[in-house]
Amino acid sequence: MAFTSDRDFVTPFWNNGGEASNIAAETDFPPVDGRLSDGTLINENVDLGTFTLADTRFLSAVGEGGEFSGQQVTVTMVDGNLVMVMDLVLDLGIGPRGVIRLPFYGTTGTLTIPGPHVTTGGLVGPKQVGPLQTGETVSGRIGDFNGDGYIDGTLVAVGVMPLSSPIYPGQPYALSRNFETDIHIDGLVHGSAKDVNKAYGFLPDEGVTQ
């Protein structure tokens, strides 16, 4: 991470090509060459891992190019919540038709489930994500919830699958990801998360912004 201020940071783009894997996602999803199945280079400073959905395995990664040039950018908002953006790519491993590009906006705050894509022929996909309906909200959190003295929490993100996606085209989605850091909650290195919360009206002994 490269800190651009005492509360904001960027994970710069880096790729080691076909050298030995440095992220678990590559090991789980061969071949190990630092590329998606369409040839796109991935940011090997970010390990998003693999997952299975509808009996299909995906590699998730931050891809080169895109709005954020393959970087992961994180800022602290005035309400104390984190916002993280990146050029997220999901890869089924079957070439260009299996690479799904999703602009990613994650936050420890609250987001609203969007509606599905609408075409000239009408709606595409259901107006829900699992049990959540369009218009309902999902919330993340930031603080020290495991009590180890370091910042942790949950990022949430919502969006709509592109119409070109081979799975769930046009349907809304919601993601939730827990995270842990080695950044001390009392700010021994980069400023105090408790002080940030206190400055915006949150109790420091709660250690949360949500």
Nearest of 127, 134, 50, 58 to residue 92 by alpha carbon: 58
User: pTM for this one?
Assistant: 0.78
pLDDT in tens, the chain (210 residues): 677 777 788 999 998 877 776 777 767 666 657 888 899 999 989 988 888 877 788 888 999 988 999 999 999 888 889 999 999 999 988 889 999 999 899 999 999 999 999 887 777 778 889 899 999 999 999 988 888 988 899 999 999 999 889 888 899 999 998 989 888 887 544 445 555 555 544 444 444 444
Tell me which amino acid residue 156 is. V
CB 194 within 8 A of CB 142: no
